[in-house]
Structure 1
Amino acid sequence: MNKKVLISLTSILIVCNSVLTTHVTAATPEESIEKGTIQIQQLDNQIIDLNSEISSLNSEISQLNIKLLENKSEISKTEDKIKNTEVEITKSKKVLEEKQEVLGKRLSVMYKSNLSSNPLFVILSSDNFSDAISNAQAVIKVISLDKKLISDIEKEKAALDLDVNNLNNKKDELKTLESSTQESLKDINTKKESQQIALDKLSAEKKKAASIIEENENSLISHSVSVIKSSSSSESEIKDAISTLRSLFPQLNTSSVKNKAQDAINDGTSSLRSMKETASNKVSNTNIGSIDRGSSPAKKTYTMEATAYFDGLLTASGLKPIRNASGLSTVAVDPSVIPLGSKLYIEGYGYAIAADTGSAIKNLKIDLYMNSKSECSAFGRRNVTVSLIAYPNEW
């Protein structure tokens, strides 16, 4: 158990030290979020293991406390037995002393009257022969009974003395067991305290990592939120901001950031509704997927060879890849051609964010994320027109 706890605590301290000395130095919030998520996963695993060990120690502590209570109860019962036995010994001593005194007086009288040493005197002093025989037998019987009585009392006293000795030995053993149990309890409580300290450190580091993730998630949505809150934003800017927030929403982990993004989406939708009421000549459509490519003039246009992929875990930007036909989907590009984080419009696919890379995606090649293998197979390999709508720092 000691070795196991030592190994566990050592591994926890190593993880804590790693977390403490690993600072988020990534250039993008996405990479910071990815690192923070990995840290939290590591910390969660360590916290689960540590809670399991603390639970095991709590069980041991509970069992030892029960053992101590049973031990104390047994000691109390043994002490009561010792007291009762000592009382019985005192009574036996008193009875023995009384019997010995009576016997002593009786023997003294018999000795003075020669009853015990002169059978002839007993016979001659009797009224008749029958009385003489009876008197002699009575004397012998009395002496024999007195001796047996004293012998029985002495045996009883010896048995009681043995009981007291045995009970005292048992009491000593119980005291030793109690002391040993208390030492074990002290050791386990010390281990538990050490593990609780480690658990507190892990929890603090998890909170710190969560704070970093929250900070970077706020950074991801801040521009779109500010666009929606700005009174000078145009209808198309608000639509783009709503589209961006909706595409980022599945990738957010922090409840407060999700609430902020949802509130901004609601506010943006409300603003678009107001714009429609005050400017009936403008078409208001909150479904970004239906926006024509011409509403967002392209900075650059490419003809690229497109393939499709699915089942991605994390992109090169640290985000989860998604396919959202009515919002922003994830695509992989060559960063030397299209910067990561750029907003694109792809013919036959829709709006997308350049968030991923691939070893085979070089020069004028692009990989489009799909939701299933069948969609990838259906798409195959084809040439598409890719319009670069906005660079990373422009939306």
Structure 2
Amino acid sequence: MIKTIWNRIKQPIDPWLFLFTLLIFAVSAIVLFSASNRDLDKVMDKVTFMGISLGVMWFFANISQQTLMRLALPAYVVGVALLVAVALFGVTSHGATRWLNIGITRIQPSELMRIAMPLMLAWFFHHFETTLNWKHFVAAALLMVVPVGLILKQPDLGTSLLIASSGFYVLFLAGLSWRLLAVMGAAGGALAYTVTHWDLCINILQEYQCRRVATMLDPMQDPLGAGYHIIQGTIAIGSGGVLGKGWLNGTQTHLDFIPERTTDFIFAVFGEEFGLIGNGVLLVLYLLVIGRGLTIASRAPTLFGRLLAGAIALNFFTYAFVNMGMVSGILPVVGVPLPLISYGGTSMVSILATFGLLMSVGRDRKLMKG
């Protein structure tokens, strides 16, 4: 009986991806204990979130690709409808309208789009696999622009960038023309030039977003205000040196210099206490997750599975790169947590849900081989 239950539980689980995830969770608990000033309650909250997230992962891993394809369009439509509802009736907090009050609680519909976007675009290209041409890429781009524009309007630059990147990865893996990539690269370069010049930036972005870019370029222009986060983050990482100051011994951390040290800037805590070697270990763990995801994608039996798994793996890279980049001062501060490490449940649940989708793709390959 127990053996049967265990076999049922482990059947959809990819052992390598599960192992790498648990190792990152272990790192998370260790660094959070220090970052929270030895707050065991916060660590136990994190462990609870881990358990819930693993349950969500297992649930999604049990969904077949056929079911996922049937859910793709409804999930996208519901997600866009909820984003429109946020724009019309959303709850505003700290200058941003990102939440929707549904009576018993508040929800953030943009989190749904993190899953719905790659699902929808992967289904779209799979549906037109035999007749694919440039018109389908234009239509897919429009499908991506609508929710990204609604999220950007909230405003939520960090989430909009992550969702846009997940959509772009699907387009790229589906065979986006290198000529179009060159045009997009040129457009990206022009946009980068625009946002780094205040007079131009203010015409296309919110003032606070332009200020973040200006602060990234020169944090010392406001060292006690807008530049404080970047300055303290880079000081903490730099002071860790090669070996780090040791667990629980970070001075920038425990003297309260690092802001948001349990959430967005937890990488600064980790870098200070575990140094370059510790950062290297964390990067290896992230690369193992990404590599496993790309391996699952390469072995997927359908175009839908390949696009979905590939986009999920590459988007996980984007999560990590954006957070580490903003803490290190090479990217603007956009409020993206360090994946699976930062304190908080919403991001962890959404990431583990996508890991479940990865496992679903790998599971269907095994079933087809059997």
> Where is the strand percentage greater, Structure 1 or Structure 2?
1
Task: Sort the TM-score into its range (normalised by shorter chain).
Answer: under 0.3
Q: Highest Rg: 1 or 2?
A: 1
Provide TM-score, normalisation by structure 1: 0.25
**Higher RCO (C-alpha 8 Å, min separation 6):** 2
Normalised TM-score (structure 2):
0.27
Which is richer in helix?
A: 2
